[in-house]
Each structure stands twice: as structure tokens, then as C-alpha cells.
Structure 1
Amino acid sequence: MSHEAVKWAHNLAPIPMDSNGKPNASCAAVLVGLAIHAGPDGKGAFPSTRTLVRYTRRCERTVRTALDRLEADQIIRKGDPAIVAAHIKRGDRRPQVWDLAMERVRTDLDAEDLKALEAMFPGVTARVEAAKAAAGEAPVDNADAQAVDNQEGGAQLSHPVASTGCSRRGDEVQPVQLRGAAAAPELSTEPSNEPPPPARAGIDAGTPVDNQGAGGADLGSHQQATATPVELFLAKLGPDWPLSKGQLRRLVPVVTRAIAAGWDPTVLAEYVRANTTGVRSPYAVLTSRLGDLPDPPRRSRRTYPDERTVAEATTSAVCIHGDPRPRACALCRRGIALEETA
């Protein structure tokens, strides 16, 4: 066990955020599980998925989704496969090797937190300030702040910085300015004069896809006739699976392999888009589901209109092959058409 990697995972590692603004607990637990098996530099962790399931007490799909989210946020990255090959001879039993991005640090630590962590991680304050500067979050310096006056009206007025564009209000509470970029204008009072953004193009510049954010309404008859199988899949996903243009490009090879394996684009979309409950990262969930597909469903053998299934043959009163006992006709039970016996 590497104590350095575990301490980093517990204290300094940035964790993907949920829609409620809180760090994802499953990602945090999976990251700690990887750190337990990593070296002092955070490299060479290859616990199996079953091991991570036992550590985190999450289901296998949740663990795989957490790994996808951590990789998408560049908190972990794929490591050298030769490391696990030296320990496990069978290629079909080798898990994925992961390296932890221990150079990454959280940017939500305050001065009190940094003071407590400085003894454990020397120089962590400088690392966090550098990360904030790279993310566009300038450190707060209150050394030159002016005093706050209490007006006779009863409300406190702050002293706004001139560059932020805020104005002094009498007898009202001054809105707090966010750190970093200036606050966006209110839509009701300052409507934007910029033209609307152009429609998002599809995967290929020559053939746009009308998928309304990787999904949306079904394609029209003309579009269906000219669309590729990948475009049909993306159009069938629906509005519950919004994807960026970069995520769409990364999904194309995975979808292409599934279609080449025998999956119908429409059936594939219906399979992977099911059960949207609790999905916070559509791209990670779709990647996980597409990477763990079962064999494609078998297509029906019925190629003629007069072919019948076993259920139809055992309930029909007429045999197309002329058998006086229609429910006992062996050809009907096998689904053989009349043309095949001619």
C-alpha cells in the first residue's frame, strides 16, 4: 500500500462533481481503492473490478461508471499494460492498469485547510494557488480592503471594485461579486444582442445530423434514407442523453464496432438509452454500456409473408402445405414457407 497515494486521494484529489454541486461519493471511493494499489508516485494500480466492488460496496456498473468519469476528468489515466502482464500471465484475466494524476490538487481548500495540510504535504499552498491561477481563480487578498460603513438607513453597503461595473445602492444590500470573471448580465434587464449560435454539425462535416443534442426527434424519411448507421443511432438516443461534439466523436468508433458486430442501429439505441434514472454523466454511462454489450439479438428467419411461427402454426385452422391436420404439420412448425417446398 502506498500511503502517499492514499493521503492524496483522501485530501487533495479533485473529485467529479454531481449536479447538486457536491463531489460524487462513488468516484471518491473508487479513487481511494485505486490509490491503495498504486505506487508512491501513483502509478501501476491494477485492482480488478471485483476488488473495487468489494472496497466501495457499489455495484459493478457504478464502479465502471466512476472509472469512466475519473478518466474523463483526467484524474486517472491508463497505465503501462506491461506492469500487469508481469504479474498475471493469462491475457484474458488482466485488469486495466491505472496511473493517478497526483499532480492535480483541489482548488476549494481555504486557508485553514491549507494550514492543516501543509505539514502532511509540504508546499501544498503554492500548488493550490498555482492550480487556482491555471483555472482562472485568482487568490483572494484582503490586505488592502476598505472598511465597511454602516449607513443611517440600516443596511450595510460594501465598497465595490470599479472594474466590476457594480454601482452603489442606497438603503439596499449590495450584491456580492463572484471571484474571477464578472457576473453575467440579467436576461430580463440586459438581453443579449449577439446572434444565436449556429446549429451543431453532425459527426461528418458533409452530412449534418439533426439529433437535438445527441438525440431528439426521429429522422425524416429522406434523412433516414441518406443517414449512416451511426447517425441513425445518435438520432434515436433521445433528448435524455445530451452529448458534446467531442464526446460524440469519441463514441463513433465504439458505435461502429457494435454495428459491425451485428447490432441494428435502432435496436442498439433502444438498448443503451434505457433506464435513465440516476444518470449524472450521460457520456460515461453510454461508454460503459456500449463497452459491455451482450451478443446482438438474432433476427427472425421469416423472409416470406406466408411463413409462420410455431405459435401461428399450432393455432391456425388451415395448413399452407395441404396437410389435413394443420396443427400437426412438421413444415409449419419449422417455419418453412410454401415456396421452399415447391
Structure 2
Amino acid sequence: MLQPFLNLKTTVIRLNPSAQTHARIIDGKALSAQVLDEVREDVRALAAQQIYPALAVLLIGQDPASEVYVRNKLLRAKDVGIHSLEHRLPDNVSQQQVLQLIQRLNADPGVNGILVQLPLPAHINEQAVIQAIAPIKDVDGFHRENVGGLVQGDEVLTPCTPSGCMRLLHETLGDLSGLHAVVVGRSNIVGKPMATLLLQANCSVSVVHSRSVDAAALCRLADIVVAAVGRPQMIDARWLKPGAVVIDVGINRIDTSSGPRLVGDVDFESASRVASAITPVPGGVGPMTIAYLLKNTLIASELQRAERPISYPAVG
């Protein structure tokens, strides 16, 4: 059973938009710390049974942003007691070498989760690498079997960012049934799985994208807006219904008179005067993504113990 490993501790906060002039900040750092505490507790329970979950992380090349992301993931894994195996490969590694390493990790019973840090060098086919990971070890939730299983409502590994967004929403609103959610962006990594999870939570869901007619008008109908489009500060107060809850997945670097800074896809200052609750950037969705990567590692460990033998993709 997976339930002990999910261990959700939800505090429902009902919002009264008319009683506030500025949106409540949804603190992703604080909630991610709670999720990490849950993971730490479950890791200790597994250790008592002599079960030690392990996560393998592949970093190809020397992309500075990827270096930071991997370092943070490894630090959080160590903090909660998950064993991590870091595999650093040079820029000129061949695709076949990467696939062979993944095949070895697939076959290693001591490895429960496999994460390949994206983006990859141009000469490596990203989809070929993702699809080579055993679905039951795919802690990013990007393999087509996990994507299809999510749509069908199966018990699969789910992409970390949408999972973290759902936790933020449940903590803020409690039951989401009947609410209208608009997802801005239709990427495979965030937009599409986010829409699916919102449907599973009994929301009415619209997906807004580059071909949508009057996207702002569609957003103004929403009780929940999830922005995941990759355009800095695109969504402002004019896009929002008073009292909407805003989850800003975007993270963009912009230049200002005081130097570069990070902003989301939402114009925070404008939107926070209309929304009832909003995630900041940074400090909102980002910490939740790492927390749910580690939660996925635990879920993968449980799935593997319940479903032996594991079927591993062949390397072509």
C-alpha cells in the first residue's frame, strides 16, 4: 500500500477575498520543509526494516543552472536520509554510453530512482534517454507509461512540479471539487500533467496556450490559475478574477536597473492586489519540486517491492 508513504498533513485555510487588500503569500519553502519532514519520517521507518531508498542522478555536461539544480537535489536527498549516486558525464559522451549507463541503473536493485538532469547536449536525443529509464524508476514521471497511466488514473510516478502545485492548492483551499482551474501553458512537463491532476481533483479545467483566443478573458473565469508558460510577468491583474488563487510555476531571469533578478510568469505586484493567494518567485513552486522528487523516490521504492520483476527497456 502506498498510503503510508504519502502521509499528507493538510491544513485547510479558507480565504475571504473581501476581507483582504493584498493576497496571502503561499509559502512553498515552509510547505516543502513539511513534505521533507514526511519523507524523512518514512525513510526512518524503512531503515528500521533494513530498506534504504537510493536515487541515481545523471548530469551530462557543465551547464551552470543544471549544476545548481543537481547540487540542491543531492543536498536535500542527504538531508532526509535518501542515498544518492551522482554520475557526471562529459559534454562529448555518446548517446549510446548514456543509454548503457541507464540500462545498468535499471538493472541495479539497489537503485530505486533515476533522474537525468535536463537539458541535454544537442547531440543526445532527450526522448530516447527518457524512454530508456524503467518506468517504475522514472522519478521525474516523464516516461510515456507514466504519462499514460496518469491520464487513466493509475498508480504511477507523477511529474514532480505538478504534484507540488497540487499540494500547494490543497493546503490553501482544501477540497478543490467544482472549482474552475485554468492552466496557462501546455508543456509535457507541467501544463498537461497539471491539467490531468486538476481533473482528478474534480475541477473544471481549461488549458490556455499560444493559439487560444482572448487568453486573458478565459483566465478571468478561473478560481485557480496555474501559470507555466515561460514568459516573464505575462499575467497581471487584468487576467485575474478577484479572489483567484495563483500558482506561478515560471522562473525567468530579467535585467533591471539594480541588476538581474528572478521573476515568474505572473506580475506579482499587480496580481497580488487581485488574487486571494499567490506563490512568490522564488520561494513558491521551486522548493516543492525537489521535495516531491524525493517523495517520488520513496513511492518508486514501494512500487518496486510490490511489483517484481521489473520490466526494463532495451537499449537500441
Q: What TM-score do the two structures reach when normalised by structure 1?
A: 0.20
Structure with the higher strand share, 1 or 2: 2
Q: What TM-score do the two structures reach when normalised by structure 2?
A: 0.21
Structure number with larger C-alpha Rg: 1
